[in-house]
Structure 1
Amino acid sequence: MSRRTLAAAAAVFVLWAMLDFVIHGMILRGVYERTERLWRPEGEMRMGLMYLVLAVAALCFTLVYERFVGRRNVRVAVLYGLLYGVGTGVSMGFGTYSVMPIPQVLAVGWFAGAVVEATAGGLVLGLVIRE
């Protein structure tokens, strides 16, 4: 794995961590507070595990692009991110909504957040990993 690929994965990780803070810690905070019975108390949340999961996801997102996308440029990378975001967002938001009693606004928020994060991650990949 090249330094450029590792740098891209690290940049995506940092971007996604920051966007997670904005999306979940600020924008959706009120929804989480109104549904607190569904979540662990803040003191019991396993944030180390959450960051490990985020790092693995960022690395896989980067490696799929780097290894399997033939034409690598900003446009293709953004489209890759958008498609990835729609796929993961539908699964995370509406898949969870179908089996858990979360409010519809949370499902929509998770979907939109995944689309924004992955599209922004695609932009990072396009800027860092080029042909």
Structure 2
Amino acid sequence: MFRKLVLGTSTVFALWTALDFIFHGVVLADYMKETAHLWRPENESKMILNSAVVLIASLAFTLIYALLINPKGLRFGLLFGTFFGLAMGMVSGYGSYAFMPVPYFMALIWFLNGLVQGVCAGVAVGMLIQDD
């Protein structure tokens, strides 16, 4: 089981990191520049902290699936990931929009990013961690 947890956590971490780059670095690139006054300058960014946060969240996601979701498999991984992503997307997208002066499009993309990340992570752990 330890090997599956490490593989699941690593896969979720890689997926979330790649999707964050796509959504923030590509889809929202112009909006990030437009709202630059809201973010730390690049030389003050805490990228190591961000990576640690994503790694811990990836571990938590994988552990919740491995320890609490039964039966295990693609179907239940997808369901878990969808609900997790819906919650994550609501908090990061619309929760932030409620308090930050960002364009609505950013909030929508943050919501969709959370949802897509949850679905992709759910599919990944559902395929990697199955009932024996």
Q: What's the TM-score once normalised by structure 2's chain length?
A: 0.96
Match of 2:38 in 1: 38
Q: Does residue 1:9 correspond to 2:9, yes or no? A: yes
Spell out structure 1 runs of 4+ moving beyond 6 A: none
- The Cα offsets for residues 65-120 of structure 1, whole Å up to 9 and x where unpaired, read as 00001111101101110100000110111111111111111110100001001100
Q: Work out the percentage of aligned pairs sharing the same amino acid.
A: 35
Q: Does residue 1:22 correspond to 2:15, yes or no? A: no
Match of 1:54 in 2: 54
Distance in 1, matches of 2:92 and 2:22, equals 18
Task: Tell me which amino acid in the other structure corresponds to 1:45.
Answer: S
Task: Tell me which amino acid in the other structure corresponds to 1:66.
Answer: A
Task: Tell me which amino acid in the other structure corresponds to 1:60.
Answer: A
- The Cα offsets for residues 29-68 of structure 1, whole Å up to 9 and x where unpaired, read as 1111111110111111110000000000000000000000
Unaligned runs of 5+ in 1: none
Match of 1:110 in 2: 110
Distance in 2, matches of 1:92 and 1:15, equals 17
Q: Does residue 1:72 correspond to 2:72, yes or no? A: yes
Distance in 2, matches of 1:15 and 1:70, equals 23
Unaligned runs of 5+ in 2: none
How many aligned residue pairs are there? Answer: 131
